[in-house]
Chain A
Amino acid sequence: MRIAWRACLVAILAVVLGASVVAQGQPRVTITYWQYYFESKVKTMDTLIAQFEAKTPGVHVVQETFPYDSYNQKVASAIPAGQGPDVVNLYYGWLPLYVGSGYLQALPAQVFPTAGIEREFVPMIKAAKFDGRYWALPTAVRTLALFYNKELFSRAGLSRPPVTWDEFRADAQKLTQRDAGGRITVEGFGIAPNGQDHQLLREILFRQWGTAAYSADNRRVTYNNPQGAAALAWYTDLVTKDKVGVIDFFPGGNGYRDAFNAGKAGMIVDGSFAIGAIQSGAKFPWGVALLPRRTAGGAPSNFGSFWVNGISRKATGPRLTAAVAFLKYLTSPDVQRTWLRQVGEIPASQALAADPKLAQDPVYGPFIASLPYAHATFFVDETAQRTIMLDAINEVVLNHKDPKAALDDAAAKEQKVLDDFWSKQAHK
């Protein structure tokens, strides 16, 4: 026993001494970067870190990753416990929570002046602005577009993707196939309230039917009016009257995309983040088009979302300086180009978005073209707000509730969520 203990002690001493010897050879400042595990992102970040370290002597960046499903919980619990990253990758929809809780620090205005940021980045990043300051910035952003199956289109006698929502509905009817019993075998539109469609409703249909979903200061719900009800009715009619799609046609969170890849849906609305899955999954010619509009000359709209990198309150002194330099690097146009090439996410900078070569890309083009008018919803409690919108849709589709009444209910519930958030902010 005694001998074993001694052996253990010697081993521990050896490790500690060894580590301190190694530490002497290390650069002076080490910062930690956290993101969730997504292979292409992690690999690209490794090469970016190597380049950054070569340009910035004395700074060492350690990348740590976690599975997507537990990422938010991991991040949320780390900093209050005195651990965790100096630079952290967050979904923009979580920012109100993280900023409100004092988890992040505002980006220093000398390096990231507010006016400069708004000149340089696409408009949707305003969702990362609180109290007139920016708290985090993205490398890349995502928008929505219409994916369509060219084979099904030509079989239905359609030569081009729809431009207006009326055309969209007519096309969807032509694309829908049914068996002898009237059961849908191919959906005209892979309808998915729990996929991207709740965003489609909130930021695109509501706006094009004449109402914003929220007030300009994000404190009030404003969609419960006749225009909002008309937009919701148009959308739910796709299931109940036009019967061009079935909710949960393929089960699972990404069922609509699986159905599209299986050739069982003529069109879907999906984000640029789906490009990879569709490129590898769809075994037929497919195309990407701009989202339709209410009328051919009407205003376009889109939903934008993005992951940001922010600096946690843990970073102070030399670590803060290093973190700021790293963030500056991650948001530079060069890195954005690399990110587009290797990860497939579209750049967050206005200049790159206006680059004609990128805008003409048959796959990325429509997503990039939508950047100037893409709105990122200011979520204060994304889970709750998403569920409220899903419930409004389901009330109409399943319980045949009047769309206006369904929206009145939803608005009352969502207003409570907003009030809860803002009252806690005022409390601080």
Chain B
Amino acid sequence: MAVSGPAARTRRGLSLRARRTLSAYTFLAVPLGFFLAIRIAPAAGALVISLHRWNIVGTDQPFVGLANFREVLSDRQFWQAAANTLRYAAAGIPAQLALGFAAALLLRRAVRFRGFFRTVYFVPFVTPVVAAAWVWQWMYSPNFGPLAMIAGRLGLPAPLRTPALALYAITALVVWEYLGFQVVIFLAGLEAIPQVYYEAAAVDGARGWDLFRHITVPLLNATLVFSVVYATIVYLQLFTQVLNMTFGDPGGPLGNTATIVLYVYTLGFQRFHMGQAAAATVVLFAALLGVALLQLTVLTRRVEY
């Protein structure tokens, strides 16, 4: 491919710029096609399935309109799972952000063993979730687990076997798991704040809390928005931890830890009501989309340096 000059035109009359763009899109077409085939098409498929009575084994899959949606929306278990999912998010996201932020601020001050501490915080994030869930199950074991003993000292019953506590017992695992990731994100955000702002403010007489409130927090806004959106998606899609923490009775005592994704899994792949499972998925998709859009509009403010 010979190029004779910056503004050279080909025989077909395309500028170099246009050709570059064209080749970029050509290369992009492959992952885009892949994305369409692997992510978008099945999602559209789920929408189609949600309008049919779709038994995975059967051949006869009649169109039933919105019957699956009516069925799902009138199912007490669906609403229990939905309320649980919101509870996970409401408890987990603030805890994860606050702890992650605090840990990041402390880590930035640590002069010695900085790498060591960062590794320690990050290890849970790279630990296989299923293995971690089983170890945590033992820690919550009513008769042998250290976490159950601590709960006992506080006058609480065995957390995983108590309907009111089981959900928060699992939330603790998820927070522990994602804390390291959150710390890394905050550390990167903190390090991106130019030091000169602090110096300038210090010259003007600002001290500790003022520096934090008027410089650190506003300039971390982009990081915060990302963290909140990311964590929201994690918590609304919670599944593996929930399934594995109460393996013999998925969804915990009396369905108190079930999430929407677990509900979909049970309905579709254990009970084979694919149509209803797809309908629940569509509802979850709509909710996720709504939440993400809301967060992006409410939390995104212009960041000026």
Asked, given contacts A251-B137, A384-B271, whether A399 binds B59 with beta carbons under 8 Å apart, the answer is no
Selected contact of B270 from candidates A77, A102, A383, CB within 8 Å = A383
Residues of B within 8 A of A387 (CB): 249, 251
- CB-CB nearest in chain B for A185: B143
Decide if A390 touches B56 in the complex (CB within 8 Å): no
Number of interface residues of A (CB under 8 A): 38
A140 to B214, CA, bound (A): 74
Residues of B within 8 A of A168 (CB): none
A143 to B13, CA, bound (A): 81
Decide if B58 touches A246 in the complex (CB within 8 Å): no
Decide if A80 touches B57 in the complex (CB within 8 Å): yes
Asked, given contacts A195-B248, A381-B271, A383-B266, whether A249 binds B56 with beta carbons under 8 Å apart, the answer is no
Decide if B248 touches A103 in the complex (CB within 8 Å): no
In residues 15-41 of chain A, which contact B (Cβ within 8 Å)? none
Residues of B within 8 A of A242 (CB): none
Residues of A within 8 A of B227 (CB): none
Decide if B254 touches A249 in the complex (CB within 8 Å): no
Decide if B57 touches A101 in the complex (CB within 8 Å): yes
A378 lies within 8 A of chain B by Cβ: no
Residues of B within 8 A of A183 (CB): 143
A53 lies within 8 A of chain B by Cβ: no
B255 lies within 8 A of chain A by Cβ: yes
Whole-angstrom distance between the Cβ of A355 and the nearest chain B Cβ: 36
A246 to B144, CA, bound (A): 12
Residues of A within 8 A of B223 (CB): none
- CB-CB nearest in chain A for B77: A387
- A-B pair count, CB < 8 Å, reads 82
Residues of A within 8 A of B255 (CB): 391
A79 lies within 8 A of chain B by Cβ: yes
Decide if B161 touches A247 in the complex (CB within 8 Å): yes
Residues of B within 8 A of A428 (CB): 60
Consensus secondary structure, chain B interface:
loop
Decide if A398 touches B254 in the complex (CB within 8 Å): yes
A233 lies within 8 A of chain B by Cβ: no
A255 lies within 8 A of chain B by Cβ: yes
Decide if A249 touches B143 in the complex (CB within 8 Å): yes
Decide if A252 touches B143 in the complex (CB within 8 Å): no
Whole-angstrom distance between the Cβ of A389 and the nearest chain B Cβ: 11
B272 lies within 8 A of chain A by Cβ: yes
Decide if A253 touches B272 in the complex (CB within 8 Å): no
Whole-angstrom distance between the Cβ of B39 and the nearest chain A Cβ: 20
Decide if A255 touches B143 in the complex (CB within 8 Å): no
Residue interface bits A240-279, CB-to-B below 8 A is 1, else 0: 0000001111111101000000000000000000000000
Decide if A102 touches B137 in the complex (CB within 8 Å): no
Decide if B253 touches A398 in the complex (CB within 8 Å): yes
A395 lies within 8 A of chain B by Cβ: yes
Decide if A251 touches B57 in the complex (CB within 8 Å): no
- CB-CB nearest in chain B for A390: B249
Asked, given contacts A76-B56, A101-B55, A381-B271, whether A391 binds B254 with beta carbons under 8 Å apart, the answer is yes
Decide if B57 touches A76 in the complex (CB within 8 Å): yes
B138 lies within 8 A of chain A by Cβ: yes
Selected contact of A184 from candidates B57, B143, B246, B272, CB within 8 Å = B143
Whole-angstrom distance between the Cβ of B76 and the nearest chain A Cβ: 9
Residues of A within 8 A of B246 (CB): 248
Asked, given contacts A80-B56, A101-B55, A250-B141, whether A194 binds B271 with beta carbons under 8 Å apart, the answer is no
Residues of B within 8 A of A100 (CB): 58
Selected contact of A248 from candidates B59, B134, B142, B272, CB within 8 Å = B142
A230 lies within 8 A of chain B by Cβ: no
Residues of A within 8 A of B60 (CB): 102, 428
- CB-CB nearest in chain A for B248: A194
Q: Which of A79, A97, A248, A395 has the most CB of B within 10 A?
A: A248
Q: List 30 A-B contacts (CB under 8 A).
A: A80-B56, A80-B57, A80-B58, A101-B55, A101-B58, A102-B58, A102-B59, A102-B60, A103-B58, A184-B143, A193-B249, A247-B161, A249-B141, A249-B142, A250-B141, A251-B134, A251-B137, A251-B160, A252-B134, A252-B137, A252-B247, A252-B248, A255-B248, A381-B271, A383-B271, A394-B249, A394-B254, A398-B162, A398-B163, A399-B163
Q: Which 6 A-B pairs have the closest CB atoms?
A: A194-B248, A251-B137, A101-B57, A101-B58, A383-B270, A253-B248
Q: Which residues of B contact A (CB under 8 A)?
A: 55-60, 134, 137-138, 140-143, 160-163, 246-249, 251, 253-255, 266, 269-272
